[in-house]
Amino acid sequence: MTNGHGASGGYEMSGEHSELTEPGRGPRDVDLDRVWLGVASEVWRRRPGPLERLAARLLRSPGLARALVTTPSLLPGWLIATAVVLLAGAAATWETGTPYVALLAPAVAAAGIAYAYGPGIDPAWELSRSMAVSDRMVLLVRTLAVFALNAALGLAASVASAAAAAVTFGWLVPMTAVCALALAAATVTRSAEAGVVAGLAGWAITVLSGKAIDGRFTVAVTDSALVLPYFAAAVCCGAIVLFATRIPKGTS
């Protein structure tokens, strides 16, 4: 129906309401500036705690420190879940002598690293993209912090059994490779969930392949012949992350 107003049937209006039909424009009753201010206030309204103040002094950037402490996989709920998983692995190690912590730690760390990336689940994601600090710097600081904390938790849990002492550090190299894989998948797909799936799948395939070849699950963390492939995988995935987070020419 045109009802005298043209072919749009009354939906094409004049004056200020015509902006509703302009490409790339949202409805006038949604104030995007107000929404953005609401997001900013949620992230920045709280006063810095001791850890954030320490991070700000070390990093010489209050904004980078806030982005670090709001990393999803560094929040209390995530850390508690990580500790529970590793404690369960430590208990199983104590009972059986099999170094389950060494097998669990890379997978847990990979999941945490994937969620360090941020899109869709990080309250500071949009703000971090508008900071003077580059996306790569934010991602690097978050990744190193998550990796270091997970490594510390894994090392603490792995001392639960003397039988696991031989592989206490053996899983750090595969952990690096698996974390790099998870981060690469997360940055390329812009999805933390995809990063988690890639990291867990990659580690599961590695562990099960070792079991099929040698009959032991622990081959993935005890075979020194795998060190170079792990490093190569980590380097390749790191290059993918750098490429995916590059700043295109002509933008700032």
pLDDT digits 0-9 by tens, 45-102 = 667 778 878 888 888 888 788 888 888 888 888 899 999 998 888 888 888 777 888 8
Instruction: Please say whether the beta carbons of 241 and 124 come within 8 A.
Output: no
- 167 φ, ψ (degrees, to nearest 5): -115, 20
Q: Where are the domains of the chain?
A: 32-244
**CA nearest to 164, candidates 96, 214, 97, 220:** 97
Q: Model-level pTM greater than 0.85?
A: no
Q: Residue 214 has what pLDDT?
A: 80
Q: Residue 2 has what pLDDT?
A: 44
> Which position has the token pair 């929404």?
35
**Positive or negative: CA dihedral 102, 104, 107, 108:** negative
- The whole-angstrom separation of Cα 175 and Cα 164 is 16
pLDDT range class, residue 234, cuts 50, 70, 90: very high
